[in-house]
Amino acid sequence: MADKRYRIGEFSKLVGLSTYTLRYYEDQGLILSQRDDNGVRYYVEEDIRWVGFILHLKGTGMQLNDLKRYVKLRAEGDTTIAERRQLLQRVKDNAEAEIAEQQMHLKVLGHKIDWYDGKTAHTIDDSESFHDYLQRFQD
């Protein structure tokens, strides 16, 4: 039995991307559509999984040039596994560093909210600045 074929409009809904974005991804070489005998673009189940993986990579902050590099290496086959792994490790390390930075920003934001709560509840002295309050939490 042949794979189910999805025309671009249906595929767009399945993967949650506009047809414009799908065409852009195709122009950039990130995805490949197939064409039927009449030249109409279509996609198959495997393409759904591939677009899902691309969206995971984009979600990590992976840049377009790195995505293109990864796709190119993938197309070259298993001889590029080590290079693909290295690329993904770098992207993972960068994403983890960004997450750590965001967590630090959120921690400070939480302290600021607590400081405001303390000021309005009068559990923090009126003269205590936020800077001084933050000193309580320094390691």
The tens place of each residue's pLDDT in the chain, 139 residues long, gives 568 999 999 999 999 999 999 999 999 999 999 999 999 999 999 999 999 999 999 999 999 999 999 999 999 999 999 999 999 999 999 999 999 999 999 999 999 999 999 999 999 988 999 998 988 888 6
DSSP state of 80: G
Share of the chain above pLDDT 70, in %: 98
Task: Give 75's contacts (C-beta < 8 A, 6+ positions apart).
Answer: none
| DSSP SS3 for 43 | strand
Supply the pLDDT for residue 3.
Answer: 80
Question: ∠ CA 49-97-131 to the nearest 5 degrees?
Answer: 140
Task: Give 126's contacts (C-beta < 8 A, 6+ positions apart).
Answer: 119
Asked if 98 and 62 touch (Cβ cutoff 8 Å), the reply is no
